[in-house]
Amino acid sequence: MTRRGGGGGGRGGWGGAFGGSEPDLTRRPGTARKTVRLIAGFFGPYRVRLAVISVLILVSVSVGVVNPILLKLIIDNLTGPQDLGLLYLQAGLMIVLPIVTSAIGVWQSYLSNVVGQRVMNDLRLALYRHLQWMPLRFFTETRTGEIQSRISNDVGGVQSVVTDTAASLLSNFATVATTVIAMWILDWRLTLLSLGLLPFFAYITYRVGKVRREVSTLTQRSMAEMSAITEESLSVSGILLSKTFGQQEASIERFRAESQRLGDLQVRGQMIGRWFFALIGTFFSIMPAFVYLLAGSLIIGGDTNVSIGTIVAFTTLQSRLFFPLGQLLNVQVEIQGALALFDRIFEYLEMDHEITDAPDAVSLSPAMMRAEVRFDSVSFRYPVAEAQVAVAAEAAEAEAEGRAVPTAVQPFALSNISFTAEPGQLVALVGPSGSGKTTSTYLIPRLYDVDRGAVSIGGVDVRGIRLASLGQIIGFVTQETYLFHDTILANLRYARPDATMEEIDEATRAAAMYERILELPDGYDTVVGERGYKLSGGEKQRVAIARVLLKDPRILILDEATSALDTVSERLIQAALQRLMEGRTTIAIAHRLSTILRADQILVMSRGRIVERGTHAELIGQEGLYAKLSSEQFADG
C-alpha cells in the first residue's frame, strides 16, 4: 500500500516496519548492541548529571580502598617502630574517611535515583506518545491488555535496571579495579591466586544470562496474556457476556491456566543460575584460607616482602573485592533479562506510524475554509499480509482490466467511490451491513488512507492536511458510543476544555439531554461509570451528540448516531441536527431510513460500490435496492 507523508511533528521518528506483537527469541548479530544504543539515547539529556555521578562514584571508591592500606600501616607500625603520633594520624584517617565516603554515597544515590526516574518517565511518555499516533489498524489487531502490559509491566520491569544498575556497574567495576591494583601492589602472587578462576566464572555467567533473557521474554509474554485476559473478562462488557452465557467457570479456568504458567516461569527465572551463584559464594568464602596458606608458607620460607600487616590488608581487600565481583556477575544476568523487556518496548517504539503528516502538509482554518468533501474514484483495501502483496497486485490489475478478481485475494472494501458533499447538505450512506459505509467515513479523517483516487476537503487532498487540523474540523459520532469513566461535564469538555457552562447547556439542550442531566442527583457532576454503563444506551448517545455539537465542527459525520434513541428523542435531535447542518457538511450513515428521508443526497452502497444515488423520492421511483430496503422497513406502516 502506498503511503504519503513523513514523520511530521515528531511522530514518526522511530521509523521501522510495522511488526507483530511478539518479539523473536532468536537474537540476530548486533541486536543487543542496537538495544543498548537505544537505551543510551534516553540517558543523553542527563549527561552532565551522569558525569557528576561518575565522579562521585570514583571518589568514593578511591577513598574506600585507603582503609585497608591504613590497616596495614597501623599493624606494621605496632610491630615495628611504634610511633604514637603516626598511630593517631592513621587512626584519625580511618575514622574520617568512612564518614566522607558515606556522605558522598548518599549524594550519589540521590542523583542516581533522580536521573533513573527521569529516564523512566521519558521512556513511558515516549511509548505512550508513539502509541497515540499509531494507525487504527494497530489497535484493531492488538489486544488492549497487551498494550497495557507493555506500558506497565515491561516498563516497570526495567525500572531497577535504569535506576540502580548503571550506577551499580560503575561503582562495582571501579571498586574491583582499584582493589585489584591495591592487591597487586601488596603482593602479585597472592593476587594471581585470588583471581585465577574468574575467567571461568565470567563465561558461566554469560551462559546463565542468555537463558535468563529467554525466560524473561516468555515471562513478559505470559504477563501480557494475563493482562489481556483480565482486561477482557473483568470489564463491564466482559462480565455481562460471561454472566449471560454462563461462562464464569470457563473464564476462571482460562485465568488459572495462564496464572499457573506465569508462576512456573517466574520460579524458573528465579532458579536459573542459583547453583552457580552458590558455587561462587562458596569459592569466595574459602579463598582466604588459600591466601593464608600461601602467605604463611612465604613467611616461613623467609620471604621478607610479606608481613603480618600485608596478610591482614590483603584479606581485607580480598573481602572487599568479592562482593562487587559477585554483584558484577549477577548484574550481567539481570541485564540480560532486562534487555528482553527493552526489546519489547523498543519493538513498539520502532513501529511505523504509517499515516503521518506530509512534509508540505497545511493547516486549514475552520472559520475560513469551505468544507466541501469530495470522493474522487476512491478504492480502498484493508491491509493484507506481506505474503499476499504479489497476488493483491495481480488482483488490482485484473480489476482495472475488467477481468475476474482471484478469489484468494482480499477484495477491495471500497471500489471506485465518487461523490461530493457540499456545505449545508446532508449526504446519507445506506446499504446492507458490510457494504462499506463506515469505511468510507474513516477515510475522511485519515483513520485509513486510500489505495487509489483521492478524498479532498475544500479542494485539498486530506493527505496534504495536517492530522491535527483534520481533528479540529471534523466531528464524529460513532455507532458505538465511548464515554470515559468520569463525570458528564468532563466527558463533554473533552471536545472543548475551555467551553463555558452556557455553551455546554446549549449543546445538551440541542441533544435533548439537558432535562435528563438536571434530573440526575449530581447533575453534570454525575460519574457515568466504565464506558458510560451507568447511563442508558440512548442517554450515552445523546451525551456523545452533545459532545460533538459542543465541538462545533465544519464537517459532521454521524455513524448511526440516533440508533439507540426513542422516537421522541430522535425527533428532537433530528430537529437540532437540521439547524446544526446549516452551512456545514454532514455525512450520515443510517440503517433506519426514517432518519434520512430529507437527505439532499442518498448513496446506496453494496459490496463496496455505490449502486444507486438520489433523493428518497427518486430512489423509491427506481425500484432498486433502496426501494427494497424501504419496503422492508416500512412494511408494518
DSSP readout, 188-231? HHHHHHHHTTHHHHHHHHHHHHHHHHHHHHHHHHHHHHHHHHHH
Distance between CA atoms of residues 326 and 172, nearest Å: 9
Helix (H, G, I), strand (E, B) or coil at 370: coil
Cβ–Cβ under 8 Å, residues 171 and 250: no
Does the residue 27 lie in any domain?
A: no
Kindly state the cell numbers that stand for 268.
Answer: 524458573
559 & 423 share domain: yes
Contact 433, 590 (CB under 8 A): no
- Of 45, 56, 60, give the one whose Cα is nearest residue 115: 45
The series of mean pLDDT values per 10 residues for the chain, 637 residues long, is 37 36 39 77 86 86 76 72 76 82 85 84 86 81 77 74 71 78 79 72 67 75 77 66 67 82 80 67 71 76 72 74 68 70 82 84 73 91 55 53 52 87 89 87 90 90 88 81 84 87 88 85 85 77 85 84 64 66 82 78 91 89 85 65
Q: Which residues, 6+ apart, have CB-to-CB distance to 520 below 8 Å?
A: 488, 526
For residues 429 and 322, membership in a common domain is answered with no
Indicate the SS3 state at residue 369. Answer: coil
Q: Are residues 164 and 249 in the same domain?
A: yes
State the angle between helix axes of 567-580 and 537-551 in degrees (0 to 180), rounded to the nearest 10: 10
3-state secondary structure 426-474: EEEEECCCCCCHHHHHHCCCCCCCCCEEEEEECCEEHHHECHHHHHHHE
Q: Does the residue 24 lie in any domain?
A: no
Q: Is residue 512 part of a domain?
A: yes
Which residues lie closer than 8 Å to 430 by C-beta, 6 or more apart? 437, 589, 590, 591, 593, 596, 602, 603, 604, 605, 626, 629
* DSSP summary character for residue 411: P
So what's the pLDDT on residue 307? 72
Cβ neighbours of residue 324 under 8 Å, at least 6 residues apart? Answer: 171, 172, 173, 175, 176, 179
Whether 21 is covered by a domain: the verdict is no
With contact defined as beta carbons under 8 Å apart, do 367 and 21 qualify?
no
Both 310 and 405 in one domain: the answer is: no
Residue 342 belongs to a domain: yes
Q: What is the model's pLDDT at position 36?
A: 78
- In this structure, the answer to whether residues 441 and 568 fall within a common structural domain is yes
Give, rounded to a whole angstrom, the gap between the first and last alpha carbons of the chain: 47
Domain count within the chain: 2
Domain of 552, CATH number, reads 3.40.50.300
The alpha-helical segments, DSSP class H, found in 44-165 are 47-64, 66-78, 84-132, 136-141, 144-149, 155-157, 159-160
Say yes or no: 77 and 184 in one domain.
Answer: yes
Determine, yes or no, domain membership for 614.
yes
Tell me, what amino acid is at 4? R
In the beta sheet, which residues pair with residue 222? Answer: none
Residue 9 belongs to a domain: no
CB 567 within 8 A of CB 538: no
In a domain, 22, yes or no: no
**Do 465 and 321 lie in a common domain?**
no
**Side chain identity at residue 130, one-letter code:** H
Which domain covers residue 163, as residue numbers?
A: 32-349
Count the alpha carbons within 13 Å of 119 in the hemisphere toward its beta carbon. 27
Q: What is the pTM of this model?
A: 0.65
74: cell is: 597501623
Q: Exposed, middle or buried: residue 29 (CB in 10 Å: 0-12, 13-18, 19+)?
A: exposed
